[in-house]
Amino acid sequence: MHKAVFDSNVYISAIVYGGKPEDLVRLCYGRNKQIELYCSAPILKETADVLSSEKFGWTEQQIVKAIRYIARISEIVEPKSKLSILADEADNRILECAIAAKANFIVSGDKHLLNLRSYENIKILKPAKMIEFFEKN
């Protein structure tokens, strides 16, 4: 089983728009489970903050439902170390979670994370590339 950490933008895309991110989320539970998904409190908070922003304007009830869903399909880890690899602090929280989870993959649409390509032997891929990986293997 492959261990992965999804960036908040993957969760938001899956929940709001569907497509490849939603396909990935479906690989994290049930009979077709192929991904052991890990998350952390900072990733959940970032996801909630974006959903409550003007762009999406979700209600508190909608946000709570979405965050509970993410928490249910993932294992929540508490990173022990703080990183300052990238300028965006939220990106560093993704890296911290992946290290704490001993993940194989980080899935993100964020160009700063994607530009790293990998960190500490953790591959960083776009959702479409991660789907391709599972289709090939």
Domain count for the chain: 1
User: How does strand 122-125 pair with strand 118-119?
Assistant: antiparallel
Q: Smallest Cα–Cα separation from 126: which of 17, 28, 42, 9?
A: 9
Quote the domain boundaries for residue 125: 2-136
Please write the tens of the pLDDT for every residue from 30-81: 888 999 999 999 999 999 999 999 999 999 999 999 999 999 999 999 999 8
**Stated pTM of the model:** 0.95
Cα–Cα distance, 105 to 54 (Å, whole number): 31
pLDDT of residue 135: 82
Distance between CA atoms of 70 and 80, rounded to whole angstroms?
21
**CATH classification at residue 76:** 3.40.50.1010
75-76 and 105-107 strand pairing: unpaired
CA gap 117, 125 in Å, rounded? 7
User: Quick one: pLDDT band at residue 1, thresholds 50, 70, 90?
Assistant: confident
pLDDT of 137 higher than 90: no
